[in-house]
């Protein structure tokens, strides 16, 4: 998956406000440099043990791969897994809405979809 795809996921997750990740995470830093570069640092404020997570290409790619892996025992409905897989196969991050971007970030940083 290319950097433009993961940059779009970061942008959607961060810029969607409480419809993205900001109902459970504080965005401490965010940098966008064109279509193929976006990264952020977030902090999980809901867990009771704040921890900072980088949202880089590699982190988002790992989260996406966790979601599309059917054998991963995440708390996620299969319809979301299918939607992410189709977006990846089509190389169309425009299919990733704020809810899916939130789930990708949670998988990437928390190892599961814990919130929402």
Average of per-residue pLDDT values in the chain = 92
pLDDT of residue 96: 98
pLDDT tens track for 8-52: 999 999 999 889 999 999 999 999 987 789 999 999 988 877 788
Contacts of 98 (CB under 8 A, 6+ apart): 12, 13, 16, 19, 20
Whole-model pTM: value is 0.93
**C-alpha span between 33 and 39 (Å, rounded):** 9
pLDDT of residue 1: 86
pLDDT of residue 52: 87
pLDDT at residue 61 above 90? yes
């Amino acid at each position: 998956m290319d950097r433009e795809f993961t940059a779009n996921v970061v942008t959607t997750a961060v810029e969607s406000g409480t419809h993205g990740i900001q109902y459970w995470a504080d965005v401490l830093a965010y940098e966008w440099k064109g279509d193929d570069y976006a990264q952020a640092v977030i902090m999980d404020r809901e867990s009771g043990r704040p921890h900072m997570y980088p949202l880089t290409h590699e982190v988002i790619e790992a989260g996406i791969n966790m979601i599309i892996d059917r054998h991963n025992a995440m708390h996620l409905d299969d319809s979301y897994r299918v939607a992410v897989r189709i977006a990846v196969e089509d190389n169309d991050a425009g299919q990733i809405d704020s809810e899916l971007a939130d789930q990708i970030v949670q998988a990437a940083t928390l190892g599961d979809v814990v919130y929402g």
